[in-house]
Structure 1
Amino acid sequence: MTVALPDIGRDLGASFASLQWTVTGYTLSLASLILLAGGLGDRYGRKRIFLLGVAGFTFASVLCAAVPDVGTLIGARILQGIGGALMAPASMAILQSTIAPGDRPRAIGTWSGFAGIAGVLAPFVGGWLLSLGSWRWIFLINVPVAVIVLVVTMRHIPETRDDESSGMDWGGSALALVTLAAATYALTAIPANPGGPGALASALVAVAAGIGFVCYEQRTTSPMLPALLRKSRSFVSINVITFIVYGAFGVFSLIFTIALETVAGYSPAEAGSTLLPITIISLALSPSSGKLAARVGPRWQLTIGPVLCGAAALMALQIKPDTGYWSWVIPLECVFGLGTATMVAPLTSVALSSLPGGHVGVASAVNNAVARGAALLWIAALPPLVGLTGASYAQSEAFQPGYRLACVICAAALFVAGAVAAAVFRNHTPCDRRPLVARSLPHPLSRQLRGAKVVSTFSIPHRPDFWRRNL
């Protein structure tokens, strides 16, 4: 999608703000509904929700390929985001609930590697599809891929669910959607017209809905954000880092690809091919990265990874009309690839292992929602704040000043994320490997086992009714 933005803008006569919305419209529905989708998977079956998401995403992709104007494209992209929201948390919850705890770090590393491959191959394949003559092929390519995914999932993925899942938080989901939608519109509109009534009204709506969301979550019996999530220091910290890192990633990936085409003069296929080193590095290193984090802890990888990505963002300041493909762009992507391969697997592993196994669906959903919401808000806010508006994406002289400032901001944010990780994750023990002490057991077992440790690699409920029923 990012590689195709200039072509889409020219073909549909879209402004930079409209092109932003083709990206943020998808991310808006994805981030708003991903928490609800995690709960749906826990309650009704993760495999079932994943299959529904793949089917919905594919249907919306066909709509995207057939749109006559940019407004309709934005609407189709919002529908596509709903399918993505159903897929994202279910995929990680399936992995976490079907693989033994000792094997999860390697599995998550493999998953992260292939997720990175998919994300990086997309611009490369997108550039090749654009060479066929139409940007619409970038959506139609999803159809045969989805057919393969559906067949493999139905044949080889077991169904899992959380038997203790309670009701769904429909009210919280609605308030989250209103909050993010209003905030995104306000962040896009205020830099262009600070005193506009629409921008100010949307900002007020975002604040009111956000306050309403917090109040509602504290009172409802089935909150999207259980109290357990808010009490886990590791879980809160890793999501703060996720917000910073993926927000910077979202903006940098958007503007860097456009810079290669608009400033350096690369074709879409050439711009997409520059990202191939990230694919290779992610495939080679992500599984080992997951294993290393499990062995020595995630602290140093969560520190070094963002710093490497920040260094790549500073290297991107050198993009100009005569920037060499092999002499500068490919080394830049290698540094960025090393950063992501170092960081993504331990980041995902910490997010999932900071809570008991029964909450894996909602833990995955929260972390995905933070990542997508960060990209949504950063992409909505940062480009107009640095002056990337109107048709600047098509004019090298107009694009470069804002592009350079955005690169510096993204680099600074990534350095901050590395510093936060170094300060917070001095020691991290996965929740499913923490010893369960006898005092957590109800009377009379606690008297008999006082002072002893019960060590388990499984998440055992610590509730009197559980022990009375099973012992």
Structure 2
Amino acid sequence: MSATDPAPPGRRRPGATFWALLLTSVASFMGALDNLVVVTALPAIREDLGGSLADLEWTVSAYTLTFAVLLMLGASLGDRFGRRRMFAVGIAIFTAASAAAALSTGLDALVAARAVQGAGAALLMPLSLTLLSAAVPAARRGMALGVWGAVQGLAVASGPLVGGALTEHISWHWIFWLNVPVGIALIPLVRLRLAESRGPHDRLDIPGTLLASTALFGLVYALVRGNADGWTSGPVLAGLAAAPVLLTAFVAYELRARNPMLPMRLFRNRSFSAVNAASVLMFVGMFGSIFLLSQFLQEVGGYSPLEAGLRMLPWTAMPLLVAPIAGALSDRIGGRPIIAAGLALQALGLALFALTAEVGFSYTAVLPALTVSGVGMAMYFAPSANVVLSSVAPEEQGIASGANNALRELGGALGIAVLAAVFSAQGGYETGQTFVDGLVPALWAGAATVAVGAVAALLIHRHRPAAPSPSQAAASADGAAETGPADGRDRTPVGV
């Protein structure tokens, strides 16, 4: 039997769960790592290639922005052309763009390569969750999503450590070369070990994608360039004015589209709306803060890139330790209390950092802030994926996970732009004191944003997930082994 043939009905392909968890976790780790892998390399990149704060922001924002605006299109492409196939295509695009970034000799080329990387990640990330959900029995899905969430959280938070180590001991180019052998190894394994499936929708929403992409690009561009060019300059005003108009047009179009990229009816579900609002606010505060804190440890603390990454470990190690437990616990008591508590701890950690950040800081003074932030982030990641999938109908779980990932990445892009704007308005890179002058109000802004996210999480419906019935469990097991009905489209549940 070939890898493309479905297994006999009622029997899952041997090792399907293991291979699905391994391959989707490695691919999603690679995509999530590159969100922030450049942050500890920014001083070295600035020294090598030049550039202002706004230019450095784009090395991160170009990735997160294309990632965000193309994620839902990526999920739709998987539904239409095959999830495994498009997952492999996403890995290939990501790998090629990583090589292009490593070969960059100027900031413009680096930013362009990062944008293409984001497009590849927009394919592989949402499809990794869909493929994993389809391969795991419902009774164990919470734990599997916990591991997947832990891997993502670890990747996001360990980006500064990995980037710092490679930058210090080899060069900043190797933060991108690292992806190339991993991507090359993944592609044949995906083809051999994952089953193909399709979704119920096979039409692409090109107008919706264009409206959302243009609106979000205009907004992020205006936020990034506002302090440098002036908030009343023509391009900045144009971006600020066009974004709400285009977003309104996007919502209006999606409400009447036959196959919308983002079905607005999903937001009628209070839990879905609440968890997505919490996700956006979490990523605004977390991404923007990490972007600045990794530079703070080097610019003010005097640490090398590797030393700065190592001192972030109390933050980075927590997802690996806490997220699987949080995922399993969400199966028992629901995601609401875990997510809300996690966001509250993340906000507290950022506030503690704002209180202790100063030119002559000691590492022991900021250690509690790093630890509390790490625990909070870990408690958010796994339960949020579970809540998203359980709040919508089975046939809409693919697009729902794509929407959640897109909104999180949008929050990351906005977080870097907003907190960097606060930073540059109040301080700068001139001296250690001017850096701290900008950092402290930016951290308070991040803490306040995440705290609002904790309040939003309290709106998630309080419930204890019901155990799947025997028939549901059997259907889930069948769905992991089969590609679906005769028309080739997968209509089996892909989430709890």
Q: For the superposition of Structure 1 and Structure 2, which TM-score range results when normalised by the shorter chain?
A: 0.7 to 0.9
The reply on whether 1:402 has 2:403 as its aligned counterpart is: no
* 1:131 match: secondary structure: helix
1:237 equivalent in structure 2? 274
* Paired residue type of 1:297: G
The CA distance in 2 between the partners of 1:323 and 1:237, in whole Å, is 37
- TM normalised by structure 2 equals 0.83
Q: C-alpha displacement at 1:144, in angstroms?
A: 1.7
2:106 equivalent in structure 1? 69
Match of 1:320 among 352, 358, 363: 358
Equivalent residues of 2:92, 2:120 under 8 A apart: yes
The CA distance in 2 between the partners of 1:49 and 1:343, in whole Å, is 28
1:118 equivalent in structure 2? 155
Cα-to-partner distance string for 1:298-336 (whole Å, 9 max, x where unaligned): 2221121111111211222223344333x2344432222
1:188 equivalent in structure 2? 224
Cα-to-partner distance string for 1:115-172 (whole Å, 9 max, x where unaligned): 222223332221111123521111111112222332432332222221x213110111
The CA distance in 2 between the partners of 1:337 and 1:152, in whole Å, is 33
1:200 equivalent in structure 2? 237
The CA distance in 2 between the partners of 1:177 and 1:389, in whole Å, is 30
Q: C-alpha displacement at 1:22, in angstroms?
A: 1.1
Q: C-alpha displacement at 1:297, in angstroms?
A: 1.5
Match of 1:54 among 91, 101, 125: 91
* Paired residue type of 1:94: L
Equivalent residues of 1:256, 1:316 under 8 A apart: no
Equivalent residues of 1:187, 1:380 under 8 A apart: yes
Aligned ranges for residues 341-352 of structure 1 at < 5 Å? 341-352=378-389
CA separation of 1:233 and 1:434: change in aligned 2, threshold 3 A: farther
Match of 1:260 among 297, 305, 309: 297
Q: C-alpha displacement at 1:38, in angstroms?
A: 1.0
Aligned ranges for residues 18-37 of structure 1 at < 5 Å? 18-37=55-74
* 1:314 match: secondary structure: helix
Q: C-alpha displacement at 1:421, in angstroms?
A: 1.8
2:44 equivalent in structure 1? 7
Equivalent residues of 1:175, 1:210 under 8 A apart: yes
1:378 equivalent in structure 2? 415
Aligned ranges for residues 49-448 of structure 1 at < 5 Å? 49-162=86-199, 164-192=200-228, 193-317=230-354, 318-325=356-363, 327-387=364-424, 392-393=428-429, 395-422=431-458, 424-428=459-463
The CA distance in 2 between the partners of 1:200 and 1:377, in whole Å, is 17
1:449 equivalent in structure 2? none
Q: C-alpha displacement at 1:429, in angstroms?
A: 5.9
The CA distance in 2 between the partners of 1:229 and 1:319, in whole Å, is 41
The CA distance in 1 between the partners of 2:426 and 2:79, in whole Å, is 42
* Paired residue type of 2:133: Q
Equivalent residues of 2:426, 2:438 under 8 A apart: no
* 1:4 match: secondary structure: helix
What residue ranges of structure 1 are gaps of 5+ in the alignment? 436-453, 460-471
The CA distance in 1 between the partners of 2:264 and 2:222, in whole Å, is 30
* Paired residue type of 2:358: K
* Paired residue type of 2:113: A
Cα-to-partner distance string for 1:216-258 (whole Å, 9 max, x where unaligned): 2122211112244122221111101111111111101101111
* Paired residue type of 1:160: S
Cα-to-partner distance string for 1:194-233 (whole Å, 9 max, x where unaligned): 2211111222332332222122212221111224412222
Cα-to-partner distance string for 1:14-65 (whole Å, 9 max, x where unaligned): 0000101111111111111111111111222221111111111111111111
Q: C-alpha displacement at 1:426, in angstroms?
A: 4.8
* Paired residue type of 2:190: T
The CA distance in 2 between the partners of 1:230 and 1:426, in whole Å, is 13
CA separation of 1:336 and 1:43: change in aligned 2, threshold 3 A: same
CA separation of 1:434 and 1:234: change in aligned 2, threshold 3 A: farther
* Worse-matched range after superposition: 367-376 or 335-344: 335-344
The CA distance in 1 between the partners of 2:430 and 2:197, in whole Å, is 48
CA separation of 1:194 and 1:121: change in aligned 2, threshold 3 A: closer
The CA distance in 2 between the partners of 1:429 and 1:150, in whole Å, is 39
CA separation of 1:429 and 1:191: change in aligned 2, threshold 3 A: farther
Equivalent residues of 1:108, 1:345 under 8 A apart: yes
The CA distance in 2 between the partners of 1:54 and 1:296, in whole Å, is 36
The CA distance in 1 between the partners of 2:244 and 2:325, in whole Å, is 43
* Paired residue type of 1:168: L
2:21 equivalent in structure 1? none
Aligned residues: 436
* 2:39 match: secondary structure: coil
The CA distance in 1 between the partners of 2:116 and 2:136, in whole Å, is 32
* Paired residue type of 1:319: A
* 1:23 match: secondary structure: helix
* Worse-matched range after superposition: 18-27 or 144-153: 144-153
Equivalent residues of 2:340, 2:457 under 8 A apart: yes
Q: Which has the larger radius of gyration?
A: 1
Equivalent residues of 2:63, 2:116 under 8 A apart: yes
CA separation of 1:394 and 1:130: change in aligned 2, threshold 3 A: farther
* Worse-matched range after superposition: 394-403 or 47-56: 394-403
Equivalent residues of 1:96, 1:360 under 8 A apart: no
The CA distance in 2 between the partners of 1:282 and 1:49, in whole Å, is 28
Equivalent residues of 2:219, 2:239 under 8 A apart: yes
The CA distance in 2 between the partners of 1:337 and 1:262, in whole Å, is 22
* Worse-matched range after superposition: 364-373 or 203-212: 203-212
Identity %: 34
The CA distance in 2 between the partners of 1:404 and 1:27, in whole Å, is 24
